[in-house]
Structure 1
């Protein structure tokens, strides 16, 4: 099997382990929106955004460092596993302990006064996630996507059952969104059992030279991961800070935040695709780095990745009239117009992750720090300028501006230090045309949903035929 076909196959399998669980989690949105008011849902979204951002700190880029150091010539994988696991558990233990000791004041800052217990639960969730991060990375390195998928799907199945039990059977209003946090904690505890053999085999070790080298390699990767999380967290937190109280008629900023957060859930369809690809692509890039034809291979991978994302952008972007029903109450539908922008934002984030291969393979991960800091500045400035004028449309545009600028800078630097012959013109043509097509189709209002669905399906079919006509020669070219 060719390298590209193998990558595609593993992406599908990792998709089962990431997209399928997240899609099942997405099915919880109607349950949550039916149980909680937009204000409460906004609080829940902020809490989960905090977890997503802090998880990046807890893992500290050790997954990528583990891949890099395990694939070096003559490397002892078990030794690297022990060192990476020791570093990640040590860091997460310190961070979780700090959150436990400051739970009360942090609860006030996070908008859940009197609920220090929720902060402790969130800390425990993140500690567990960090503890099993390297075992999950090991499955990716060993190309065991089926076991990876089984673990993820079992976890989300437990999460769905617990959510249903707590919110439909045992629900008490005083507990509120705390039930969702508790469900996540209990479901994540399953991972400790699932990886018990791997965790028992772990022998805590610290090697002054190798461990410090891994930390030096990993922290810029951690900062790079924070870029995506910063965007998501800022889009929520800054709406509270910078949205004028009377911007939306008869809506508080907290209510607007809940509506925007629900729209973000739909855009995660693209985010999940990016994540599934990253799971397969990261070890793929490292394992093929020594191949003399790797630059051409990486360029081809990125081009096909963009094509797949454009298909998803079109498919989701023109079918919001169907996808909106996953949000439950019609109250949440008024923010749907920002979804295409958020989908496009995630597309550029995925391209950026592909482009970062150059500084990961040349051990110049500190460039990730510079790009990330620049992206954070762009995010903050754009939100500050746009939210008071455009509301959550401004926040959506801020995400797009940030990810696009990071992609451009990473590409320009990469061509200097590790040239890869990306087909920039053709790829950008796909992105621009697809975006324009989404807005053109959405401008055509069809009242009958069945007629609209057939029309949208026809558009997608013609689009796919067009892609085949343009790419058929490349498709038939043997993959290296």
Structure 2
């Protein structure tokens, strides 16, 4: 249990550096939904969906490659750092130049033909994100979680502060999505200052043996990440085009995308926990892989991970009657019924990340590529079939089908190449019982908000007590 407690502690610290910034970013939902109507908010949703996808190309899977090769016995960490950062900077510079030179046609493609400046700003945002990815990975390897958290949190404080200034405090009509992009770019310049010492110590390096090895290891990871982020963002990119006109009576497709993007923000609450866990778990898995009991350890980690995610699932899903006020305009509330499905989708994605440890530790990263491309195919087909008949609700089910398929495939293959004794039956039971409670509670209509909130708190309290009693009993049984 000591290692799991240590992992939990590191998850809290990395989570502080990941969850707090994203939570502060989540708080901007109210500011943005107050400043922009759904049609305008859809532009932000679409632009940052494309950024998330393209960012994967900029980083080229080098974060994972850095962990893999810096953790090998006798590895020269500084050499690995220089090699991986050299690849990232070279690729990012090339892609940034292409985007800047083609800013006008790209702006036309994104339906913002009059704003090629936004395309240039987005290219610079992606460049800075990529350049600091390896320095952030080094902090994780060196277990400098506090410094990691400080960098992430201070960046988002700048970003939130600039959003408040541009959209609320600056004189004149400031209702322009460009201010959101510019705030992100200015905040990202802090990263360059924060890592100035580390970046100045970098020396371009190509090693005849190690550089090709890192590239061979990284490009399947990049393809996996690209397919994975496509799974997450595809619906936000295609919903406008695949949704039939007037599907939602009297409302545009841009309106529907804005509603969907706002609802997705609540699902990000699950992703916050997953991201914090991943930052701590990736070096944890690599550093404990050689231990004799590592399969049992990894199984226990996944078990407790699912419990935490189930608590988040029920906590958010049955309190949407309060959380909806984070959306400033009531027009956005109509999409909140899809939030539990999206939360479950992210939960399965987190389980997939746990299951995926086998192909990272056995250097079979190409399996991750195959699985995630399979998920991308499910995403495309499911969105194509479901959006015309179910709108953005169909997109939420497409995400669930995608991550369910990926999780099952990763588990089946993993048991063949790197068996880990996951307690699948218990995990499924936790998830199913949680969902039954969520939909059962949400089916009960209580008009008095105070009574409803008290009832929801009571349900969560009983739920937590049940988990405590069940897990405590199992723990005592194992010790005996």
TM-score range, shorter chain: over 0.9
1:473 deviation in Å? 3.6
Match of 1:277 in 2: 277
1:48 deviation in Å? 0.9
- CA separation in 1, counterparts of 2:27 and 2:470? 36
1:401 deviation in Å? 0.2
The alignment of Structure 1 onto Structure 2 pairs a total of residues equal to 479
Match of 1:360 in 2: 360
Say whether residues 1:90 and 2:90 are aligned partners.
Answer: yes
1:189-212 CA distances to partner (integer Å, 9 max, x unpaired)?
A: 000000011111111101122111
Match of 2:307 in 1: 307
- Two-structure CA RMSD over aligned residues (Å): 1.4
Match of 2:294 in 1: 294
Match of 1:183 in 2: 183
1:405-432 CA distances to partner (integer Å, 9 max, x unpaired)?
A: 0000000000000000000000011111
1:41-71 CA distances to partner (integer Å, 9 max, x unpaired)?
A: 0011111111111111111110010000000
- CA separation in 1, counterparts of 2:115 and 2:271? 31
- CA separation in 2, counterparts of 1:75 and 1:236? 42
Match of 1:470 in 2: 470
- Secondary structure at the counterpart of residue 114 of structure 1: coil
1:366 deviation in Å? 0.5
- Secondary structure at the counterpart of residue 206 of structure 1: coil
Structure 1: unaligned runs, 5 residues or longer? none
1:96-126 CA distances to partner (integer Å, 9 max, x unpaired)?
A: 1111111110001112112111111000000
- CA separation in 2, counterparts of 1:171 and 1:59? 38
- CA separation in 2, counterparts of 1:339 and 1:257? 15
- CA separation in 2, counterparts of 1:10 and 1:398? 33
- CA separation in 1, counterparts of 2:159 and 2:399? 29
Structure 2: unaligned runs, 5 residues or longer? none
Q: 1:437 to 1:227 in 2, by over 3 A?
A: farther
Say whether residues 1:402 and 2:402 are aligned partners.
Answer: yes
Q: Is the 8 A contact 2:319 2:456 kept in 1?
A: yes
- Secondary structure at the counterpart of residue 53 of structure 1: helix
Q: 1:110 to 1:173 in 2, by over 3 A?
A: farther
Select between 49-58 and 313-322 the one with higher mean Cα deviation.
49-58
- CA separation in 1, counterparts of 2:29 and 2:240? 22
Match of 2:26 in 1: 26
- CA separation in 1, counterparts of 2:276 and 2:202? 27
Match of 1:436 in 2: 436
- CA separation in 1, counterparts of 2:218 and 2:476? 39
Q: Is the 8 A contact 2:104 2:116 kept in 1?
A: yes
1:475 deviation in Å? 4.1
Normalised by the length of structure 2, the TM-score is 0.98
Q: 1:122 to 1:475 in 2, by over 3 A?
A: farther
Q: 1:336 to 1:142 in 2, by over 3 A?
A: same
- Secondary structure at the counterpart of residue 28 of structure 1: helix
- CA separation in 2, counterparts of 1:105 and 1:173? 28
1:249 deviation in Å? 1.2
- CA separation in 1, counterparts of 2:171 and 2:404? 43
- CA separation in 2, counterparts of 1:420 and 1:195? 38
Match of 2:262 in 1: 262
Match of 1:369 in 2: 369
Select between 415-424 and 48-57 the one with higher mean Cα deviation.
48-57
1:474 deviation in Å? 4.1
1:112-141 CA distances to partner (integer Å, 9 max, x unpaired)?
A: 112111111000000000000000000101
- CA separation in 2, counterparts of 1:152 and 1:194? 10
Select between 236-245 and 415-424 the one with higher mean Cα deviation.
236-245
- CA separation in 1, counterparts of 2:366 and 2:321? 44
- Secondary structure at the counterpart of residue 413 of structure 1: helix
Q: 1:477 to 1:6 in 2, by over 3 A?
A: farther
Match of 1:14 in 2: 14
- Secondary structure at the counterpart of residue 119 of structure 1: helix
Match of 2:342 in 1: 342
1:228 deviation in Å? 3.4
Q: Is the 8 A contact 2:267 2:339 kept in 1?
A: yes
Match of 2:153 in 1: 153
Match of 1:222 in 2: 222
- CA separation in 2, counterparts of 1:473 and 1:204? 55
1:168 deviation in Å? 1.5
- CA separation in 2, counterparts of 1:175 and 1:96? 28
Say whether residues 1:37 and 2:21 are aligned partners.
Answer: no
1:304-341 CA distances to partner (integer Å, 9 max, x unpaired)?
A: 00000000000001000011011111110000000000
Say whether residues 1:114 and 2:114 are aligned partners.
Answer: yes
Match of 2:446 in 1: 446
1:250-271 CA distances to partner (integer Å, 9 max, x unpaired)?
A: 1111001001100000110001
- Secondary structure at the counterpart of residue 433 of structure 1: helix
Select between 362-371 and 208-217 the one with higher mean Cα deviation.
208-217
1:16-53 CA distances to partner (integer Å, 9 max, x unpaired)?
A: 10111111111111111111111110011111111111
1:226 deviation in Å? 2.2
Normalised by the length of structure 1, the TM-score is 0.98
1:239 deviation in Å? 1.1
Match of 2:235 in 1: 235
1:170 deviation in Å? 2.8
1:444-466 CA distances to partner (integer Å, 9 max, x unpaired)?
A: 01111111111111111111111
Q: Is the 8 A contact 2:42 2:254 kept in 1?
A: yes
